[in-house]
Amino acid sequence: RSHLSGKRHGRLRWLRAERRAQEQRSLFVSGFPRGTDPARLRQHFRAFGDVATVVMDKEKGAFAIVELRDPEGRRRALEQPRHLLEGRRLRVRPR
């Protein structure tokens, strides 16, 4: 019982809840040209809502995680049938 009410356990529960919330606001994006600036992705997805963060795969530059500020923006982005950036079709999926 004391374990469940401890600081570490409480922090871990909070962290897991925050990760689930982030997942509900985030998109997995690939298909953009190599060397694409994260600001270009931010600009593209701003049409669906405020963008919180854009995290790109630094080693290969093959994918990015785009986190919007609210789940509605994510839903709108996923409902969009086609995403084009610099003439290339993006693959946008739930994270």
Q: Tell me, what CATH number does 48's domain have?
A: 3.30.70.330
47 in a domain, yes or no? yes
3 in a domain, yes or no? no
The predicted model scores a pTM of 0.80
15 in a domain, yes or no? no
Nearest to 28 by CA among 51, 50, 54, 60: 54
The residue range of the domain holding 39 is: 26-94
Q: What confidence tens digit (pLDDT) does each residue in 28-61 have?
A: 999 998 888 999 999 999 999 999 999 998 777 6
pLDDT at 10: 81
Residue 5 predicted with pLDDT over 80: no
What total number of domains does the chain contain?
1
Residue 74 and residue 66: Cα distance in Å, rounded? Answer: 9
68 in a domain, yes or no? yes
70 in a domain, yes or no? yes
| CB burial of residue 34 (10 Å; 0-12, 13-18, 19+) | exposed
21 in a domain, yes or no? no
Residue 76 predicted with pLDDT over 90: yes
